[in-house]
Amino acid sequence: MGKSSAKKNNKTSYQYDAIVIGTGPGGEGVAMQLAKAGKQVAVIERYDMVGGGCTHWGTIPSKALRQSASRLIEYNANPLFNDGNNNRHLSFQEMLAHASAVIRKQTNLRGGFYQRNHVTVVHGEAAFVDAHHLQVKRNDGSLDMLSAEFIIIATGSRPYTPADIDFSHPRIYNSDTILSLNHDPKSIIIYGAGVIGTEYASIFRGLGAKVDLVNMRDRLLSFLDAEISDALSYHLWNNGTVIRHNETYTSVEGRDDCVVMNLDSGKRMRADCLLFANGRTGNTDMLNLEAIGLQADSRGQIKVNEHYQTTVSNIYAVGDVIGYPSLASAAYNQGRFAAEAILNGQCDKALVEDIPTGIYTIPEISSVGKTEHELTALKIPYEVGRAQFKHLARAQIANTLVGSLKILFHRETKAVLGIHCFGERASEIVHIGQAIMQQKGEGNTIEYFINNTFNYPTMAEAYRVAALNGLNRLFD
């Protein structure tokens, strides 16, 4: 149990000013902000190491795997290193070794934050007793009771696992357990063609596995600009991925030597293993929310107001447990904003309106702002400026020729309305456009990219090329 605090509220003494449940980006954001303000803070983490799902099962490992697969593809395609007769192969286990090293570095880094800021880390599983008290079941089975004036729920989410699929079978995985894959599959079925599914389709195809990607909708990542979605579909198809649109499963058979998936259309597929990547559920079912009168929805999510405050005034929630946008970067900011609301009674800050999307397929996708479809539906007169990476000197030098940058801008005001990028380093490139979109007045026009001087040769030069292309389309 942590050391006592003299903090009082309504003549009641609590051990801590605040307790944060979860040490992912959202939990870290709120804990650090409160600790730096002089508050006595504890965090509760059910696993042995801090960092949450983002560090251990989600963002960090999947992007590390993607990096290895991408570099492998680049090596095998580069005539400087490979004459075409000596393709290098990496096993999934070899790539996991690299990912594990990154996870260790991230865990040590994040653990240091808590130590330096004198935040007490308690390992165990938390459940509410009342609005100010939590029972923590330690990993050794012992129970502790912790109390605080404020409690913040930042427990994240986990993969949705339908009851009719046997996830204990050694060939059936979700997006967390896939990191325990201990063989090198020659074929894989990926059910769910959202962000996670398409990213892993790129990874496994990069390793040379045959990939069947089952999509319940009629196009990939339909929230993206249509041209970008089509580009992804083409490159996955061109690289050998079989995409099956408008399909749902009826049953999954886990066999000793394979997995068979039966589809509602009557099709049957067989592969070495199955990755089920269809949705996520908030980690709220173990919190005993009933004890404080809170109720999560069918997806395990909790409703909050603009200050990330739940209907129980001293209980706040951030990150995946509150739903959109379910991004690590957004969760960290949500944590900071919740901390400010706790400290000051309100928070005037909010997430930016145009939150960037980064999708780590091969090639990468990133976008911010409106799509062409959205602008057309809103009857906003816009024009398009494009730059193809194959025409850029830096892309030619690096032999990363696939991809393009698209700028959408208002025909009359020339304000930048959307940035859509497909290709290597897209998730980095998009932030240049995002920074201009966030400017006020005349500072957010496409003419900035014409008047600015870019380093040469760089991928950032794509903005100048795209801006010239777009402005050349205008006429009186």
The encoded tokens of residue 359 equal 């999708």
**Which residues, including other chains, have CB under 8 Å from residue 336's CB and lie 6 or more apart?**
29, 30, 32, 33, 349
On whether 173 is known to bind a ligand per the annotation, the reply is no
For residue 121, give Cα distances in angstroms to 41, 118, 142, 437: 9, 9, 16, 40
Q: Output DSSP code: residue 392.
A: S
134 Rama class: left (phi>0) / alpha (psi -120 to 50) / beta: beta
195-198, long-range: CB < 8 A, 24+ apart: 195/221, 195/359, 196/62, 196/277, 197/275, 197/277, 197/278, 198/232, 198/236, 198/359, 198/361
Return the half-sphere exposure (C-beta side, CA atoms, 13 A cut-off) of residue 348.
Answer: 0
On whether 50 is known to bind a ligand per the annotation, the reply is yes
On whether 51 is known to bind a ligand per the annotation, the reply is yes
On whether 441 is known to bind a ligand per the annotation, the reply is no
Q: Any bridge partners for residue 365, and if so which?
A: 359, 422
The encoded tokens of residue 380 equal 């906003």
On whether 45 is known to bind a ligand per the annotation, the reply is yes
Phi, psi of 35 (to 5 degrees): -65, -40
Contact 262, 253 (CB under 8 A): yes
Cα–Cα–Cα angle for 224, 230, 236, rounded to 5 degrees: 110
On whether 46 is known to bind a ligand per the annotation, the reply is yes
Q: Output DSSP code: residue 140.
A: T
On whether 48 is known to bind a ligand per the annotation, the reply is yes
Task: Choose among 418, 413, 411, 385: nearest CA to 475.
Answer: 411
- The Cα 162–Cα 176 span in angstroms is 15
- The Cα 61–Cα 91 span in angstroms is 15
On whether 54 is known to bind a ligand per the annotation, the reply is yes
Tokens 């029972």, residue?
135
Known binding site for FAD: residues? Answer: 45-54
- The annotated binding site is made up of 45-54
